[in-house]
C-alpha cells in the first residue's frame, strides 16, 4: 500500500521550544488514522505541517511526494478541519457550498445539502452566527463532502452533543467506505472514535509512542481484575502500566508478556484476565505508572 505522508527525522521547534523531535513515520493511503496524545503533545502541530500551514524546522516531510509547505498541489488535494476553520462573514452556508463546489474536485453537493438538512442547518444561516456545536457540525460536513484524497479533522467534535458526535462518526465511516481516502482524525474522545479507526498514531513526549493497527495497540496490554490483596501477590512479576478501581475490584493494566501457564495461574487465583479496549491501551501508554488520580485518594486514606 502506497504511503501518502512520509516523515524522515522531522523536528519542529518554536524558538527554543521543541514540539516534535526527529519524527520518522509513514501514513498509508486510504486508511483512517487516529492521531492521539495528551494536551500539548504536538498533534495539531504535526497535522498543520502535513497540511502545509506550518514549516518543519528540520528533516524531510513529503505529502503526495512533495513538500507540503506552500504547495498548491497539496492544498488542492487536502482539507484541514478544526474549530477555528473560518469563512467570510458575508457568506451564507449555501454560498459556502457553492464556493466549495468550485474548489474541491471531488465535492458532493447533494451529500452536503442532505447532511446539513439532517443536522438542521439552514442554508440561509451565516457561519458566524452558529453556536459552537453547530459550527463544528457544519465544518465537519464540509470535510466529509469535500472527499479530498487527504482529509484531516483536528478535534472536529468540539461543542457537539453526544448525538451529533455519534452521527458525525457514522456519516464519516459510511462515506469513507463508499469513497476511500486517507483520513487523519484527532480527538480526545478516543472511546467514541475507536470503532472506525484502522491505525493509531500516538504522540508521546515529542516522539511517536506507537504507530500501527489499532488491534496491535490493544494486544500490547492485558487487564487483570481482582481483589487488591490477591493482585498484590503478583506485583513483582509483571510490569504494571496502570492501576485503577473497577467497582469493588482493583484493575491492573499490564504488559502482555505472559505465557499460557502464567495466565492459567492468574485465573485459578480468581483474577479475571481480559483484553483491553483501544481507549484503555491509549490511557495506559499516556498515563502514570502508579494509577493516576486513584493514588491521590489512596494516599489521603493512609
Per-residue pLDDT of the chain in tens (302 residues, 90 and over written 9)? 678 999 999 999 988 888 999 999 999 999 999 999 888 778 999 999 999 999 999 999 999 999 999 899 999 999 999 988 888 888 999 999 999 999 999 999 999 999 999 999 999 999 989 999 999 999 999 999 999 999 999 999 989 999 999 999 999 999 999 999 999 999 877 888 988 999 999 998 788 999 999 999 999 899 999 998 898 888 777 778 878 876 788 988 888 888 889 889 899 999 999 989 898 888 888 764 444 555 555 555 55
Residues 6+ apart with CB under 8 A from 189: 157, 165
- What would the grid cell of residue 101 be? 463546489
- What would the grid cell of residue 112 be? 452536503
- In terms of phi and psi (left: phi > 0; alpha: psi -120 to 50; beta: otherwise), the region of 49 is alpha
- What would the grid cell of residue 241 be? 502500566
CA distances from 124 to 98, 115, 140, 280 (A): 13, 15, 18, 43
* Residue 71 backbone phi and psi in degrees, to 5: -90, 120
* Residue 69 backbone phi and psi in degrees, to 5: -60, 120
Contact 101, 113 (CB under 8 A): no
Amino acid at each position: 500500500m502506497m504511503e501518502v505522508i512520509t516523515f524522515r527525522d522531522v523536528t519542529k521547534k518554536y524558538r527554543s521550544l521543541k514540539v516534535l523531535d526527529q519524527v520518522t513515520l509513514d501514513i498509508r493511503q486510504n486508511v483512517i488514522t487516529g492521531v492521539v496524545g495528551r494536551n500539548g503533545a504536538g498533534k495539531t502541530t504535526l497535522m498543520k505541517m502535513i497540511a502545509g500551514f506550518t514549516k518543519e524546522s528540520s528533516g524531510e516531510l513529503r505529502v503526495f511526494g512533495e513538500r507540503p509547505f506552500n504547495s498548491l498541489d497539496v492544498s488542492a488535494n487536502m482539507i484541514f478541519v478544526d474549530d477555528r476553520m473560518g469563512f467570510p462573514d458575508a457568506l451564507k452556508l449555501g454560498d459556502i457550498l457553492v464556493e466549495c463546489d468550485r474548489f474541491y474536485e471531488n465535492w458532493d453537493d447533494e451529500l452536503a445539502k442532505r447532511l446539513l438538512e439532517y443536522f438542521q442547518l439552514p442554508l440561509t444561516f451565516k457561519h458566524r452566527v452558529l453556536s459552537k456545536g453547530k459550527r463544528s457540525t457544519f465544518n465537519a460536513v464540509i470535510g466529509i463532502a469535500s472527499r479530498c484524497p487527504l482529509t484531516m479533522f483536528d478535534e472536529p467534535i468540539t461543542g457537539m452533543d453526544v448525538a451529533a458526535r455519534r452521527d458525525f462518526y457514522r456519516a464519516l465511516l459510511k462515506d469513507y467506505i463508499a469513497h476511500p481516502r486517507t483520513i487523519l482524525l484527532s480527538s480526545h474522545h478516543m472511546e467514541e472514535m475507536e470503532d472506525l479507526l484502522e491505525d493509531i498514531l500516538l504522540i508521546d513526549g515529542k516522539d511517536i509512542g506507537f504507530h500501527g493497527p489499532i488491534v496491535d495497540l490493544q494486544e500490547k496490554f492485558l487487564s487483570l481484575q481482582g481483589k487488591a490483596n490477591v493482585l498484590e501477590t503478583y506485583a513483582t512479576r509483571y510490569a504494571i502500566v496502570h492501576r485503577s478501581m473497577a467497582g469493588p475490584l482493583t484493575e491492573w493494566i499490564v504488559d502482555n508478556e505472559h505465557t499460557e501457564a502464567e495466565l492459567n495461574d492468574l485465573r485459578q487465583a480468581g483474577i479475571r484476565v481480559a483484553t483491553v479496549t483501544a481507549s484503555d491501551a491509549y490511557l495506559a501508554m499516556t498515563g502514570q505508572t502508579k494509577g493516576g488520580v486513584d493514588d491521590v485518594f489512596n494516599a489521603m486514606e493512609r
